[in-house]
Chains A and B, each alone.
Chain A
Amino acid sequence: MKKEWPLWEVFVRSKNGLEHRHFGSLHAADAEMALENARDVYTRRNEGVSIWVVESKNITASNPEHNAELFEPAQDKVYRHPTFYDLPDEIKHM
């Protein structure tokens, strides 16, 4: 039996009001151990108030090689931005 402990991704909320942010990854045998290890590895100096761990294999990532198909369609849609619309200078607060 030569099984490596699975890899987990760690997300930490640094304080209430902020979103959880990816902090890094670590190995642990199960979710509970992953949380405990994340506490020791990533929050030794009060960096967080909440931790999420998710096994890395459960994350589906987009492929950067497909970035063109995926993200370019947004590039020619300037009408999604407020600056696309011409308004008279007298109009304030809009």
Chain B
Amino acid sequence: MSEAQIKSLEEEFEARIARDEKIEPKDWMPEKYRKTHIRQMSQHAHSEIVGMLPEGNWISRAPSLRRKVALLAKVQDEGGHGLYLYSATETLGITRDEMFQQLHSGKAKYSSIFNYPAVTWADIGAIGWLVDGAAIINQVALCGTSFGPYARAMVRICKEESFHQRQGYEITLKLAQGTPEQKAMAQDALNRWWWPSLMMFGPKDDESPNTAQSMKWKLKRKTNDELRQQFVDQTVPQAELIGLTIPDPELKWNEEKQGYDFGEIDWDEFWQVVKGHGPCNKERMKARVSAWENGEWVRDAAIVYAEKQQDKKLNKAV
């Protein structure tokens, strides 16, 4: 294809997206669109899968059967969401094994939030309330994204996520209404998860160079700072209602903008964790890699069994 032809294809492609048409896997697409989507979608899938780890740790220690079945169902959902996203990404021509390879080698990233430890039961409340809350805000915006398989996966995921946030808030609420020790535990979890949750929306707009392109492709509908503001505005009253305090002395209602002003995020910490120096980066990857490696014989055996059954069928037919 000549350069002029590619240019006209690209223009037509951008025009389709601007008209709100969806792009499907077999449609022509610019190489950069394909690569950006593989990167973002696989990282999203990895986040779901790694996200099972901090919570999975608490399934066997949930304080009641009610909490246990809910947490089990939530963690299973995260696994399911990872699977929707992996298969949606595969439509772009990357294999599942290649994606795992990229995760395990550290080439692909996942959401940094999962590199923080869940040290008490109250953390399970804070994760559902804050981390899933922040994730929902990001994901609702993606339901209308331009790549069909991604948008469809997001619609399913958003439908399922709202229970995640509600179960987290309920846990926090009950602790906040409990003994002074329980309330202190809820406050402590909020203190530790608040800032990392704000970091989930990514760097500030003026340090987010891909925003313009992502907006065009509808990978983003709002900027990082807009989404972060939305999260703060919706979460602060939820904390107040149950008598917990947001750990930010600069937090203040701004009548003029009809939103909260809030303090500066510790961006050094943000970049440290992104670069692999968070409290649990190594532990998370170790758990993932060992699950993959220890499961290898099962995957291989299942293939051999399937082939054997297939051969038996063929032989019978002869």
A associates with B:
yes
A94 part of interface (Cβ distance < 8 Å): no
User: In which size bucket is the chain A interface?
Assistant: 20 to 34
B77 within 8 A of A: yes
- Whether the Cβ atoms of A5 and B87 lie closer than 8 Å is no
Residues of chain B whose beta carbon lies under 8 Å from any beta carbon of chain A = 24, 26-28, 73, 76-77, 80, 83-84, 87-88, 90, 95-97, 152-153, 160, 299-300, 302-303, 305-306, 309-310
Least distance between B17 CB and chain A CB atoms (Å): 15
* Cβ–Cβ contact A4 & B97, under 8 A: yes
Q: Are A29 and B84 in contact (CB under 8 A)?
A: no
Contact partner, A29, options B26, B95, B305, Cβ 8 Å: B305
List of 4 A-B pairs having minimum Cβ-Cβ separation, nearest first = A29-B302, A30-B306, A29-B306, A25-B87
State A28–B96 Cα separation when bound (angstroms). 12
B83 partner, pick from A4, A30, A41, A45, beta carbons under 8 A: A41
> A64 contacts the other chain (Cβ, under 8 Å)?
yes
Question: B residues within 8 A CB of A40?
Answer: 76, 80
Give the CA-CA distance A5 to B302 in the complex, in Å: 9
Question: Are B80 and A41 neighbours in the complex by a CB distance under 8 Å?
Answer: yes
Contact between B26 and A63, CB atoms less than 8 A apart: yes
**A57: B residues at CB distance < 8 A:** none
A68 contacts B by Cβ under 8 Å: no
Q: How far is the CB of A90 from chain B (nearest CB, A)?
A: 42
A13 interface residue per 8 A CB criterion: no
CA A9 – CA B199 in complex, angstroms?
Answer: 37
Smallest CB separation, A61 vs chain B (Å):
6
